[in-house]
A = this chain, B = another copy of it.
Amino acid sequence: MTPTSQQKRNDILDAALELFAEHGFHNAPMAQLAKRAKVAVGSIYRYFKDKDELIHALHQEVDTALQNALVSEVAPAISPQQHFVHLMINLIHYLQEHPYEFKFLEQYYNSPFGIEIKREKLLMSGPSGRQSAFEQFFSGPAKKSLKPMSAHVLYALAFGPVTFLLRDVSSGLVKLDEPRINELAEGCWNAIKQ
């Protein structure tokens, strides 16, 4: 891949993100995608075997960006609750500011594409080897402050409310302000804390 083609690949993925988020996978013809990416239809097929592979690659991309966004430094002396709330607020901010990415992910996990992919992967596995911020938190010293429970339930209590609420945000039904974001983050903490 020459640098030029890497650029083109990104143009395609960017256009795809927009189009998929706006119209859904099935209302985003390759021709339209090509036009928005300012490449020829045929060119897309040099970078991706077919539409499915493009969608999976885009998932990869969006997922990685999300993980990277959540990696952030935290003051060491912070309390577990403060730490968790901090991570949560980061997450909400990121997703609220990247509605296309959120819409794409929701669509992906709700379609035949995302079934075989573990849902928790969304937030519990870091980019290429590194641990995700949440993964570090849940497996680190804060563990003692959490009520002992099945990991699946823990993730559901931690992330379920966010995804639920953000759907309404991204459909324009709600706008989240800081007080509400805090309400949510603290609610989640109360759900999982010891």
Contacts and interface: CB of A to CB of B under 8 A. Distances in A.
Interface of A: 23-27, 106-107, 109-112, 115-116, 118-120, 147, 149-150, 152-153, 155-157, 159-165, 167-168, 171, 173-174, 179-180, 183-184, 187-188, 190-193
Contact of A157 (B26, B27, B109, B187): B187
In the complex this chain forms, how many copies of it are found?
A: 4
Contacts of A155: 164
Given A147-B187, A150-B179, A163-B164, 8 more contacts: A24-B112, A118-B173, A149-B187, A156-B161, A157-B184, A159-B160, A159-B164, A160-B160
Counting chain B CB atoms within 10 Å of each CB, the highest count among A23, A119, A156, A188 belongs to A156
B183 A187 contact: no
14 contacts: A24-B112, A26-B26, A106-B110, A119-B173, A120-B168, A147-B187, A150-B179, A152-B165, A152-B174, A155-B164, A159-B160, A160-B160, A160-B162, A187-B192
A42 B171 CA distance: 35
A152 B168 contact: yes
Given A162-B160, A173-B119, A153 B107 contact: no
Contacts of A190: 190-191, 193
A153 B165 CA distance: 7
Contacts of A147: 187
Contacts of A159: 160, 164
A153 B187 contact: yes
A191 B157 contact: yes
A80 B184 CA distance: 21
A37 to B, nearest CB: 15
